């Protein structure tokens, strides 16, 4: 039994592929979600000088390393897009796999970091600073995980030269996840 | 974006600039001067985000309404946070006093100072 291609990949009434427009809408809604969390964090932080005693325990170097990892994975995502534009599916898939590897590295480092912090007694309920820390970084981590899963699916198709337009779509999402981390890093790791 | 719609910049070069900015944003705050921390940590974060959005996400090559759509969300978010911030960051006003928040600050400061002495 065959199914027709979903209309979202073909219709261009808006002047751009609907799939890509959908990704931008996802990002627009994510701005409100992450913006709300970060905005709440900033306004509470300004009113709670005692949080400085807690934030001093986050590890700047680990945060910086993870920023490096995400920036590098973003480079791989945009190189995958470049390969997709050349209709080089296997090349795009290879770069998407590197991007996914970056996401995996990020999550492994994060889990080691969190294990260490929890062992030292800094849990999500120990203080409002840590509540924000685990909520913001945890939600971001879930986005990294979701991006990795989607990227593996897109890469599997791209390897066969199919649905190459999706390489750019998942790339746009991944760069947004990178942008969120670019703001989380100074807020959680540098502002002591 | 179609392949012939635009020439790609050197993505590796842009990545190099992002890494250089990352190094500055980590080293700047080590000087422990408030203004330099604000500029290097938060100012550079804005620059890094702009570079990623422009050169990796190619927002400037999209239809204009994409930027308006994303921009309007940022404006709404800033309005919401801006409207609420004065009541959250201050613990008292002309006709109100947030006892719970003030107590939390006192408790947290005392606990933090105790920790530092150990």
The enclosing domain of A182 has a CATH number of 1.20.120.80
| Phi then psi dihedrals of residue A17, to 5 deg | -55, 135
Please write the tens of the pLDDT for every residue from B7-53: 667 999 999 999 999 999 999 988 888 889 888 889 999 999 999 99
Which of B15, B25, B62 is closest, CB to CB, to A75? B15
Contact present, B41 and B28 (Cβ < 8 Å): yes
Contact present, B16 and B46 (Cβ < 8 Å): no
In a domain, residue A97? The reply is yes
Does residue B32 come out as left (phi exceeding 0), alpha (psi in the -120 to 50 range) or beta? left
| Chain B CB contacts of A67 below 8 Å | 22
Closest residue in B to A73 (Cα) is B15
The residue range of the domain holding A176 is 64-192
Please write the tens of the pLDDT for every residue from A3-28: 666 666 666 678 888 899 999 999 99
**Interatomic CA distance for residues B54 and B72, integer angstroms:** 17
Cβ-defined contact of B85 to A14 (cutoff 8 Å): no
pLDDT at B1: 47
In a domain, residue A12? The reply is no
Provide the token pair at B90. 């201050």
- Best interface-test mutation with A: which of B33, B101, B108 has the largest number of A CBs within 10 A? B108
In a domain, residue A135? The reply is yes
Please write the tens of the pLDDT for every residue from A54-106: 999 999 999 999 999 999 999 999 999 999 999 999 999 999 999 999 999 99
In a domain, residue A47? The reply is no
Please write the tens of the pLDDT for every residue from A35-64: 999 999 999 998 999 999 999 999 999 999
Please write the tens of the pLDDT for every residue from B71-110: 999 999 999 999 998 888 888 888 899 999 899 899 889 8
Which of B56, B81, B112 is closest, CB to CB, to A53? B112
In a domain, residue A1? The reply is no
Cβ-defined contact of A183 to B49 (cutoff 8 Å): yes
Domain count for chain A, please give it: 1
Cβ-defined contact of A71 to B18 (cutoff 8 Å): yes
Long-range (24+ apart) CB contacts under 8 A made by A99-102 are A99/A73, A99/A74, A99/A151, A99/A174, A100/A148, A100/A151, A100/A152, A100/A155, A101/A73, A102/A69, A102/A70, A102/A72, A102/A73, A102/A76
DSSP 3-state assignment of B92?
Answer: strand
Domain spans in chain B, listed from the N-terminal domain onward = 1-62, 65-118
Which of B41, B48, B105 is closest, CB to CB, to A48? B105
């Amino acid at each position: 039994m065959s199914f027709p291609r979903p209309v979202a990949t073909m219709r261009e009434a808006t002047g751009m592929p609907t799939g890509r427009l959908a990704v931008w809408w996802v990002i627009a809604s994510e701005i409100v979600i992450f913006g709300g969390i970060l905005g709440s964090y900033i306004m509470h932080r300004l009113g709670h000088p005692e949080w400085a005693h807690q934030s001093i325990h986050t590890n700047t170097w680990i945060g910086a390393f993870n920023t490096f990892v995400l920036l590098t994975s973003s480079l791989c995502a945009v190189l995958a897009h470049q390969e997709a534009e050349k209709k080089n599916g296997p090349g795009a898939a290879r770069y998407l796999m590197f991007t996914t590897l970056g996401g995996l590295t990020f999550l492994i480092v994060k889990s080691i970091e969190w294990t260490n912090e929890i062992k030292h007694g800094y849990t999500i309920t120990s203080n409002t600073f840590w509540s924000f820390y685990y909520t913001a970084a945890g939600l971001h981590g879930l986005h990294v995980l979701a991006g990795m899963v989607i990227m593996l699916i897109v890469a599997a198709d791209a390897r066969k030269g199919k649905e190459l337009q999706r390489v750019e779509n998942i790339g746009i999402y991944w760069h947004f996840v990178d942008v969120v981390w670019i703001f989380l890093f100074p807020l959680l790791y540098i502002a002591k | 974006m179609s392949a012939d719609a635009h020439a790609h910049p050197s993505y590796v070069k842009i990545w190099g600039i992002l890494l250089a900015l990352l190094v500055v944003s980590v080293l700047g705050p080590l000087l422990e001067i408030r203004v330099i921390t604000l500029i290097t940590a938060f100012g550079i974060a804005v620059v890094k985000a702009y570079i990623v959005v422009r050169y990796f996400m190619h927002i400037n090559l999209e239809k204009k309404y994409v930027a308006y759509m994303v921009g309007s969300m940022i404006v709404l978010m800033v309005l919401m946070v801006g409207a609420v911030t004065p009541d959250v960051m201050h613990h008292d006003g002309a006709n109100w006093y947030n006892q719970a928040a003030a107590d939390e600050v006192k408790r947290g400061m005392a606990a933090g100072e105790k920790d530092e002495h150990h």
